[in-house]
Chain A
Amino acid sequence: MARFGLKQFKQGWQQQLRVIHALMIRELTTRYGRENIGFLWIMAEPLLFAGLVAIIWRFWKGPQEHGISIIAFVVTGYIPITLFRHGVARSASIFTANSSLMYHRQIKILDFVVVRFIIEFLGGMMAYVFIATILIAFDEFPVPADPGLLIAGWTLYALFSFSLCLIIAPVSEMSEVVEKLIPVTTYIMIPVSGLFTLASWLAPGPREYLLLSPFVNGMEMMRKGIWGDEITAYYNIWNPIGCSAVAAIIGLVLCRRIRRTLTVE
């Protein structure tokens, strides 16, 4: 019986990998085509965003703030937030957009969310590595002091963003109002995303509130991983893990419920 179960699991897993693989290729070809740099466009957006904003800040505020390079600070802030904002934007109405694929039973609606998020995740990571390498060469970016902590922070940040996508995807199908409110909400969330501030720059009172945000905890980890002893970071890894677990459970339940009522042309 146990062996049978394992075999089934293996088959299911292989099927899942096949579907994810096929959907990724399909998504990349429909979104970016095969012209010019093709799928490398997935890193172009976060790259341009972080790069251009960093340059603006550099001229606006000078080379350093609180003793750390402003370009590096803005880049480390903008790439994660682009992952979050694009992930959420791509999740809105995702089931309607992909409805013709529901004709194939082995494709589950969760696969759509997973695939689009993986693309944003890989694009963000590639952009991060690319821009950091260039900036390190120009001495504008420190060599990460603790790459493990940087990766852990990025993973937790992404995990929480993904859990939110699991909620946004079904909710945007239930209500058009929600879909319309998404861009403004993600914009308003910027101050509590840890983008512009390190927790140590704040007074202890506001800092406590800021650290309730899972994004800030992830961001602090990433920045501690980059600057190491140059900065003081405040974080608790259980905050993003716990928030992600709660959001993911809500999201999965909503996805399961919405599947029953989805109308496919």
Chain B
Amino acid sequence: MIVCQNIFKSYKHGGGTKRVLNDVNFTVQQGDRIALLGRNGAGKTTLIKLIGGVEMPTSGKVVRKMSVSWPLGFAGGFQGSLTGYDNARFIARIYGCDYDGLRAYVEDFTELGRQLKAPVKTYSSGMRARLAFALSLAIEFDCYLIDEIILVGDQNFQRKCHYELFEKRGDRSLIVASHSNEFVKAYCNRALVIHGGRATPYDDVNEAVEIYDKL
């Protein structure tokens, strides 16, 4: 279970303060698949970062009672100047898991072959997505935080994700920020519409998508 209690987040810049999240409350149960819906800049990525502990809320707290992945997104989590293998080794070390097993899984899942010996900064966003998913799936979290990135992959990658994430690990929780209504309707059972700093939870995903479309 993850509980977000009275979360406020403001950023200071240029003398002013911008409040991005304004008293956000919600709970994620084991097995929940929650879509974060909102326009660009509404605060979806910020919320995911707060849940993942990458940034801290200005006030309020996030209580994590299950293991939560790092946010899988376009940025962060990797050292660009290191190779795919080096990053995998680093992740294996800090999460205390066996590197040989992790490497085998990453090679199989990513199908990147020799590219894994190249620095991550030379990867396309699709390739980064493959690597990020492979690593976090190999470590096995109870809850995965996914920021858009699932959609940058090709057909083959999406099929694999579908199998690994929704079939093999159907009991896991998922928090996913996405602009794809089809994806949200197909895979999520709850939704959170973020608008004007407020987050409104919906148990009916179709209703949430309709409201989001009108924003």
A residues at B contact (CB < 8 Å) = 14-15, 18-19, 21-22, 25-26, 29-30, 99-107, 259-265
Q: Can you show 30 pairs from A to B with CB atoms below 8 A apart? A: A14-B96, A18-B94, A18-B96, A19-B94, A21-B93, A25-B93, A26-B79, A30-B79, A99-B76, A100-B76, A100-B77, A100-B78, A100-B80, A101-B79, A102-B54, A102-B55, A103-B54, A103-B77, A104-B77, A104-B94, A104-B95, A105-B52, A259-B56, A260-B56, A260-B58, A262-B56, A263-B11, A263-B55, A264-B76, A265-B75
Contact of B90 among A22, A263, A265 (CB under 8 A): A22
Q: How far is the CA of A102 from the CA of B76 in the complex (A)?
A: 8
Contact assessment for B94 and A264 in the assembled complex, using a CB-CB cutoff below 8 Å: no
Give chain A nearest CB distance to B144 CB in angstroms: 13
Q: Using Cβ atoms and an 8 Å threshold, which residues of chain B touch A260?
A: 56, 58
Contact assessment for B55 and A105 in the assembled complex, using a CB-CB cutoff below 8 Å: no
Q: Using Cβ atoms and an 8 Å threshold, which residues of chain B touch A26?
A: 79, 82, 86, 90
Q: Using Cβ atoms and an 8 Å threshold, which residues of chain A touch B81?
A: 30
Q: How far is the CA of A15 from the CA of B97 in the complex (A)?
A: 12
Contact assessment for B75 and A100 in the assembled complex, using a CB-CB cutoff below 8 Å: yes
How many residues belonging to B are interface residues under a CB distance threshold of 8 Å? 27
Give chain B nearest CB distance to A109 CB in angstroms: 11
Q: How far is the CA of A22 from the CA of B49 in the complex (A)?
A: 23
Question: B84 in the interface, Cβ–Cβ < 8 Å?
Answer: no
Q: How far is the CA of A29 from the CA of B49 in the complex (A)?
A: 28
Contact assessment for A103 and B71 in the assembled complex, using a CB-CB cutoff below 8 Å: yes
Give chain B nearest CB distance to A259 CB in angstroms: 6
Contact assessment for A104 and B11 in the assembled complex, using a CB-CB cutoff below 8 Å: no
Give chain B nearest CB distance to A36 CB in angstroms: 18
Contact assessment for B94 and A30 in the assembled complex, using a CB-CB cutoff below 8 Å: no
Q: How far is the CA of A256 from the CA of B177 in the complex (A)?
A: 29
Contact assessment for A104 and B12 in the assembled complex, using a CB-CB cutoff below 8 Å: no
Q: Using Cβ atoms and an 8 Å threshold, which residues of chain B touch A263?
A: 11, 55
Q: Using Cβ atoms and an 8 Å threshold, which residues of chain A touch B12?
A: 261
Q: How many A-B residue pairs have CB under 8 A?
A: 65
Give chain B nearest CB distance to A16 CB in angstroms: 11
**Residue on A with the closest CB to B87?**
A26
Q: Using Cβ atoms and an 8 Å threshold, which residues of chain B touch A261?
A: 12, 56
Contact assessment for A29 and B94 in the assembled complex, using a CB-CB cutoff below 8 Å: no
Q: How far is the CA of A22 from the CA of B70 in the complex (A)?
A: 17
Q: How far is the CA of A151 from the CA of B90 in the complex (A)?
A: 33
Q: Using Cβ atoms and an 8 Å threshold, which residues of chain A touch B90?
A: 22, 25-26
Give chain B nearest CB distance to A20 CB in angstroms: 10
Give chain B nearest CB distance to A129 CB in angstroms: 28
**Residue on B with the closest CB to A11?**
B96
Q: Using Cβ atoms and an 8 Å threshold, which residues of chain B touch A265?
A: 75-76
Chain A CB count within 10 A is highest, among B11, B12, B52, B91, for B52
**Residue on A with the closest CB to B70?**
A103
Q: How far is the CA of A105 from the CA of B12 in the complex (A)?
A: 23
Contact of A104 among B49, B70, B86 (CB under 8 A): B70
Q: How far is the CA of A75 from the CA of B68 in the complex (A)?
A: 51
Question: B126 in the interface, Cβ–Cβ < 8 Å?
Answer: no
Question: B53 in the interface, Cβ–Cβ < 8 Å?
Answer: yes
Give chain A nearest CB distance to B85 CB in angstroms: 11
Contact assessment for B82 and A30 in the assembled complex, using a CB-CB cutoff below 8 Å: yes
Contact assessment for B53 and A105 in the assembled complex, using a CB-CB cutoff below 8 Å: yes
Contact assessment for B93 and A29 in the assembled complex, using a CB-CB cutoff below 8 Å: no
Contact assessment for B82 and A29 in the assembled complex, using a CB-CB cutoff below 8 Å: yes
Q: Using Cβ atoms and an 8 Å threshold, which residues of chain B touch A21?
A: 93
Contact assessment for A22 and B75 in the assembled complex, using a CB-CB cutoff below 8 Å: no
Q: Using Cβ atoms and an 8 Å threshold, which residues of chain A touch B55?
A: 102, 262-264
Q: Using Cβ atoms and an 8 Å threshold, which residues of chain A touch B93?
A: 18, 21-22, 25
Q: Using Cβ atoms and an 8 Å threshold, which residues of chain A touch B54?
A: 102-103, 264
Q: How far is the CA of A21 from the CA of B58 in the complex (A)?
A: 31
Q: Using Cβ atoms and an 8 Å threshold, which residues of chain A touch B82?
A: 26, 29-30
Q: Using Cβ atoms and an 8 Å threshold, which residues of chain A touch B75?
A: 100, 265
**Residue on B with the closest CB to A265?**
B75
